[in-house]
Chain A
Amino acid sequence: MSRIIAIAWNTFREAVRDKILYNLLIFCLLLIGSTVFLQELAIGFPERVMMDMGLAFISVFGTLIAIFIGVGLVYKEIDRRTIYTIVSKPIPRYRFLLGKFLGLQLTLLVNLVLMTVLLLTAIYLAVDETPWHIILAVAFLLLEFMVLTSIAMMFSTFTSPTLSALFTLSFWVVGHLVGDMRHFVLQAKEATVIKTFAVLTRSLPDLDRFNLKSWASYGGPVDHSVIIYTIILGLLYSAFFLGVAALIFQRRDFK
């Protein structure tokens, strides 16, 4: 376990020493800060505008980190041959993958905490209220980013970063349409269409399950079972994609 933690910590260290991440983070923090001015445009409920915009920025920024750092996590190690001295140490390959994955989760967590703190502060300064409930929406976003990272890592074990990013983005787009596809199945009449979409909705990760942004704007109770179900779903999706990544990675030759 200590070796997985060492790899995770090193992955985190690599990310926080990367200037690109800082640039993205500063840009996103500025955008979140700018919601203070955007709320002036709202007709009533200015905090809703701020929450909507703020969560949207966090979502976009987190997705960018998860995909663009995720696709490079393994590929860069192979391309730069740093993997040679790691894999030749007494560490099973799947533990290396797990360490890299956890390192990126830590990076995402720290960034999301920073952005959420700023968003809450901005809302407090604007309307003198702190909508603590948005933390749940951010936590759900973190689950979505976990799934996206695992998908990105899976692709990066066998293809280039550009293709991996493209495939992961496709998963992200389609994953957010799974809910709509389900409605489509209910309304479709043709058997083959129903079957095709039924297969698709069952086999693709339903990423809209992690979307609590609308709920965050309006508030209201969330059932505990929904929270537990979503956490389990996030863990299962990630475990599946990481499992496939580990299988491919285990069989790879590092030429």
Chain B
Amino acid sequence: MDGTAVSQTVLEVKNLTKVFRVGFWGKKIWAVRDLDIDVRRNEIFGFLGPNGAGKTTTIKAILGLIYPTRGKIRLFGKPHSDVKIRSRIGFLPENPYFYDYLSAGEFMHFYGQLVNLPRSEKYEKSKELLKLVGLEDAAGIQLRKFSKGMLQRLGLAQALLGDPELIILDEPMSGLDPIGRKEIRDLILRMKENGKTVFFSTHILPDVEMICDRVGIIHSGRLSAVGTLSEILGSSLEGVEVTVSGITDEKAIDSVISRIVRQGDILHIALDDPNNLDGLLRKVLDQGGKIIEVFGHRRSLEDYFLEAVGEEHDDSEVEQ
């Protein structure tokens, strides 16, 4: 790895393994196995996986909330155990619960002190961040009266205190309505615009497709894929749908067709192999037909995710 690459890597996880011991006999539960991730500066990295895949365990290990059984974690090129490094990180836990006897303003001031904000800056920054997340009018309200969405937004505001470079969000959209989810997505995009790096876990696929630069997919504690969406899904087409009219005899064009449906003069043609598209279009035109629409099918993240999760599920069933 060259020097530039090192400075561009904000978070580096190597061979992370975490084993929990549960029950009276200390039965081993492998929460994460040999996980490798690198998150680069100013990217939005989506950490995708079903519930119980090991996302939260990985995040907790990164933040020093739990100790890895094996493996190394480096933040900004330094070991994650270095407490000082945490001043460069903001964190929003899953389903955040904060001190409910505090008002939002008191809460932000308290957390401002924890990240060592100077007294004068503390009040100004708290106000600014509450405004950013749309809670400026709720500064005097006790947190026990906050809705889930409001708590989530407040959690984001506290994660941004101290102007951290890396923001780690654990399931930031979970339990929110579509408007709340869009608000959080917009905030994440705004963080990227402001030069931040965002690492967030989720099990909601559209969120990842909409805003992530790169994605890591975790299932049963193992990373099954990592990269940009096009790297993971491939850029090639999986199939093509063609809509044509003016063809009276389907047999004249059916040599390469996978499926065909007629609706009056309109023919809906499906091709499983996109390489056959040129030949089909030529035949349609030769027969005096008219091409109305050509629509290419790419593989979706959902297809990939279901396949990956499904395969591993089958494997684990076989192992058992």
**Pair B101/A14 contact, Cβ less than 8 Å:** yes
Residue in B93, B102, B113, B114 whose Cβ sees the most chain A Cβ within 10 Å: B114
In the complex, are the beta carbons of A89 and B115 less than 8 A apart?
yes
Partner of B99, one of A82, A90, A91: A82
Chain B residues closer than 8 Å to A86, beta-carbon distance = 114
Contact with A along B83-94 (1 / 0, CB 8 A): 111110101110
Smallest distance from the beta carbon of A99 to chain B beta carbons, Å?
A: 10
The answer to whether B87 and A84 touch across the interface, beta carbons within 8 angstroms, is: no
Cβ-defined contact, A88 with B86, below 8 A = yes
CB-CB under 8 A for A253 and B67, given A2-B113, A6-B110? yes
B64 at the binding interface (Cβ < 8 Å):
yes
Q: Is the CB of B65 within 8 A of A87?
A: yes
Q: Are B66 and A90 in contact (CB under 8 A)?
A: no
CB distance from B248 to the nearest CB of A (A): 68
Query: Which residues of chain A are within 8 angstroms of B110 by Cβ–Cβ distance?
Result: 6, 10
Interface residues of B in 21-65 (CB under 8 A from A): 60, 63-65
Given A90-B84, A90-B87, check contact A85 B93 (CB 8 Å): yes
Q: When the two chains form their complex, are residues B83 and A91 in contact, meaning their CB atoms are under 8 A apart? A: yes
Which residue of B has the minimal Cβ distance to A95?
B83
CA distance A251 to B65 in the complex (A): 10
Instruction: Please determine whether A90 and B91 come into contact, CB atoms closer than 8 angstroms.
Output: no
8 Å CB interface, B215-241 against A: none
A133 within 8 A of B: no
| Bound complex: CA A254 to CA B63 (Å) | 11
User: Given A3-B113, A90-B115, A255-B20, do A85 and B96 touch, yes or no (CB 8 Å)?
Assistant: yes
Q: Contact: A84 with B113, CB < 8 Å?
A: no
Q: How far is the CA of A239 from the CA of B13 in the complex (A)?
A: 37
How many angstroms from the CA of A87 to the CA of B111 in the assembled complex? 12
Is B98 in the interface zone, CB < 8 Å from A?
A: yes
Residues of A within 8 A of B101 (CB): 13-14, 17-18
Closest B residue, CB atoms, query A86: B114
The closest CB in chain A to the CB of B113 belongs to A6
Contacts of A7 on B, CB cut-off 8 Å?
A: 114
The minimal Cβ–Cβ distance linking A73 to chain B, given in whole angstroms, is 13
Across-interface contacts of A14 in B (CB, < 8 A): 99, 101
Q: Mark A221-255, 1 if CB is under 8 A from B, else 0.
A: 00000000000000000000000000000010111
Interface assignment of B116: CB less than 8 Å from any CB of chain A: yes
Q: Does A195 contact B (CB under 8 A)?
A: no
Count chain A residues whose beta carbon lies closer than 8 angstroms to a beta carbon of B: 27
Instruction: Point out the residue from A13, A89, A251 that lies within 8 Å of B114, measured CB to CB.
Output: A89
B202 at the interface (CB under 8 A from A): no
A254 touches B116 (CB 8 A): no
Q: Is the interface of B mostly helix, strand, loop or mixed?
A: mixed
- A89-B97 contact, Cβ under 8 Å, with A6-B114, A10-B110, A253-B66: no
**Could you tell me the distance between the alpha carbons of A80 and B97 in the complex, rounded to whole angstroms?**
7
> In whole Å, how far is B104's beta carbon from the nearest beta carbon of chain A?
14
Tell me, yes or no, whether B158 is within 8 Å of chain A by CB. Answer: yes
Give complex CA distance A2, B20 in Å.
35
Contact of A90 among B20, B60, B92, B116 (CB under 8 A): B116
Question: Please, how many angstroms separate the alpha-carbon atoms of A17 and B86 in the complex?
Answer: 30
| Given known contacts A10-B110, A85-B111, A253-B66, A92 and B83 CB-to-CB distance under 8 angstroms | yes
Given contacts A3-B116, A253-B65, contact A88 B89 (CB under 8 A): yes
Does A84 lie within 8 Å of B116, measured CB to CB? no
Enumerate chain A residues within 8 angstroms of B20, measured Cβ to Cβ: 253, 255
- Contact indicator A2/B89 (Cβ below 8 Å): no
Residues 221-268 of B contacting A (Cβ, < 8 Å): none
Return chain A residues, CB-CB under 8 Å to B65. Answer: 83-84, 87-88, 253-254
Docked Cα-Cα span, A83 to B158, in Å, equals 14
> Does B114 lie within 8 Å of A91, measured CB to CB?
yes
- In the assembled complex, the Cα of A84 lies from the Cα of B86 at a distance in Å of 13
Contact A85 B91 (CB under 8 A): yes
Chain A residues within an 8 Å CB radius of B91: 84-85, 88
Contact mask for chain A residues 67-102; partner B; CB cutoff 8 A; 1 contact, 0 none: 000000000000011111111111110000000000
Chain A residues contacting B98 (CB-CB under 8 Å) are: 82, 85
Name the B residues within 8 Å of A85 (CB-CB).
91-93, 96, 98, 111, 155, 158
Kindly provide the distance from the CB of B160 to the nearest chain A CB, expressed in whole angstroms: 12
How long is the Cα–Cα vector from A254 to B66 in the complex, in angstroms? Answer: 6
Chain A residues within an 8 Å CB radius of B97: 80-82
The minimal Cβ–Cβ distance linking B226 to chain A, given in whole angstroms, is 24
- A interface residues with partner B (beta carbon < 8 Å): 2-3, 5-7, 10, 13-14, 17-18, 80-92, 251, 253-255
Of all A-B residue pairs in the complex, the 9 with the closest CB atoms, nearest first, are A6-B113, A253-B66, A90-B87, A88-B63, A90-B86, A88-B91, A84-B93, A254-B65, A17-B101
